[in-house]
A and B are shown apart, each in its own frame.
Chain A
Amino acid sequence: MNKYTERLYNGIIKENPTFVLMLGMCPTLAVTSSAINGLGMGLSTTVVLVLSNLLISAFRKVIPNGVRMPAFIVIVASLVTIVEFMMKAYFQSLSAALGVYIPLIVVNCIILGRAESYASKNPVLPSIFDGIGMGLGFTVGLTCIGLVRELLGAGQIFGVQVLSLNWFTPITIFIMAPGAFLVLAFLVAGMNIIRKKMEEKGKPLAEPAGCLNGDCANCGQAAICADKKEA
């Protein structure tokens, strides 16, 4: 496996941001009320992630270490603004459904986390593939959660009625706010079981990082955290 396919495999399977690393929980909970919203959010995040990895990696030798966080934030925020306008122009209904969560891609831990831990240390091409891998991993995660919630909550898959309403009573709570927490709780529990099995096999999974562990090193706040520890 060469370097590039390794990056893709790493992002989609080995360090999948949703299932394994558990990063970017705010959008994961908020926009997965249907599969199409999950897919849309995942793909817009992917676009931002690939471009931000590209730019940050290209400028990594120019950006002084002391101000790298603000510099990364400006780059990411500009890209997000561009994506927001593109969505408004070409995917109006999706843009309306995702609402404020599109500009909030700026504070998604995955993007600043990848900038900090990968793109700012590696050449351009591997960084792009890292962005594609992580972005697609996130997209797969959101779409899967969206599929489950949409199927249970409305009996639909991508807006197509698959469970006939003649015998299936939709469990509406799954497409509402509490359903997001419930589905994620069962996902975390399931991952705990898989994690234990893999450990017994001697192939431990990567540890969850960021939000759920209360660790901010992966939330793009490594610089701030390090300051705190020294102080």
Chain B
Amino acid sequence: MKELLLIAVGSAIVNNVVLSQFLGICPFLGVSKKTETAAGMGGAVIFVITLSSFVTALIYKFILANEYLMSKGIDLTYLKTIVYILVIACLVQFVEMFLKKKMPPLYESLGVYLPLITTNCAVLGVALTNVTKEYGILESVVNGFATALGFFIAIVLMAGLREKIEYNDIPKPFQGTAIVLITAALMSIAFMGFSGMI
């Protein structure tokens, strides 16, 4: 239990996925103009990453690193990048179809963001990190959820800041993306303060 908690805090806050690992920068900069859309995107990312961590962990344990195949000398783990990216792409499509059909209210709020997540590097990044750190299925899911929660925190905070920045008098060359990046730098410095926690 303590170990899981450490993984969760580490992935959500200390090694924040956006601010210290630079994964998922595209949506972080692109979809953070309003707090509501940012929260929608964050929610969709939490949903997809948690699910994909679970599915990829299952695939790794029972197919790629299958004990029987391993004992016969067949090691399929080198296929992980190819398998994961395809599984994630299919999963996102499937989730979109499922939500559209079965849960229209949830689809209304998350659906628009789902296709944007397909090539979001954070999803593949988490799946690959789970393998590198040799996490089991439960640990993978916790790590996935916590990482996505970190993304949610970062993007919602950023959207809140950006709504305020709108009213400020910013030098011309810095208007738009540049000031957002400076804000991100300051947030990143703030998050470095958590590094002593673990």
Chain A residues close to B by CB (< 8 Å): 22, 25-26, 29-30, 69-70, 73-74, 77-78, 80-81, 84-85, 99-100, 103-104, 106-107, 109, 112, 173, 176-182, 184-186, 188-190, 192-193, 210-214, 216, 219-221, 224-225, 227-228
Inter-subunit contact B178/A77 (CB<8 Å):
no
Contacts beyond the supplied A81-B82, A100-B125: 10 A-B pairs with Cβ under 8 Å: A25-B26, A103-B81, A104-B121, A107-B124, A177-B192, A192-B176, A192-B178, A211-B29, A221-B116, A221-B119
The number of residue pairs between A and B whose CB atoms lie closer than 8 Å in the complex comes to 133
Cα distance, A190 to B118, chains bound together (Å): 32
Chain B residues close to A by CB (< 8 Å): 19-26, 29-31, 78-82, 85-86, 89, 112, 115-116, 118-121, 124-125, 128-129, 132, 172-179, 181-182, 184-186, 188-189, 192
- Residues on the B chain within 8 Å of A25, using CB: 25-26, 29
Q: How far is the CB of A197 from chain B (nearest CB, A)?
A: 11
- Residues on the A chain within 8 Å of B116, using CB: 216, 221
Instruction: Give 10 CB contacts A-B under 8 Å.
Output: A26-B22, A80-B81, A81-B78, A173-B189, A177-B22, A179-B185, A185-B174, A186-B178, A192-B173, A210-B26
**Among all A-B residue pairs, the 6 with the closest Cβ atoms:** A214-B30, A185-B181, A181-B185, A211-B26, A30-B22, A77-B82
Please judge, given known A-B contacts A100-B128, A214-B29, A221-B119, whether A181 and B181 are in contact too, CB under 8 Å: yes
- Residues on the B chain within 8 Å of A80, using CB: 81
Inter-subunit contact A181/B184 (CB<8 Å):
yes
Cα distance, A80 to B20, chains bound together (Å): 24
Inter-subunit contact B25/A103 (CB<8 Å):
no
- Residues on the A chain within 8 Å of B23, using CB: 26, 30, 104
The secondary-structure label for the interface of chain A is helix
Inter-subunit contact A189/B178 (CB<8 Å):
yes
- Residues on the A chain within 8 Å of B20, using CB: 177
The one of B81, B125, B181, B192 that contacts A84, using a Cβ cutoff of 8 Å:
B81
Cα distance, A192 to B116, chains bound together (Å): 27
- Residues on the A chain within 8 Å of B21, using CB: 30
B79 nearest in chain A by CB position: A81
Please judge, given known A-B contacts A78-B82, A216-B116, whether A181 and B182 are in contact too, CB under 8 Å: yes
Q: How far is the CB of A228 from chain B (nearest CB, A)?
A: 6
Please judge, given known A-B contacts A81-B82, A106-B81, A181-B185, whether A211 and B25 are in contact too, CB under 8 Å: yes
Inter-subunit contact B81/A227 (CB<8 Å):
no
B92 nearest in chain A by CB position: A224
Inter-subunit contact A190/B173 (CB<8 Å):
yes
- Residues on the B chain within 8 Å of A188, using CB: 176-178, 181
Q: How far is the CB of A205 from chain B (nearest CB, A)?
A: 14
The one of B26, B124, B184 that contacts A106, using a Cβ cutoff of 8 Å:
B124
Inter-subunit contact B119/A74 (CB<8 Å):
no
Cα distance, A190 to B171, chains bound together (Å): 12
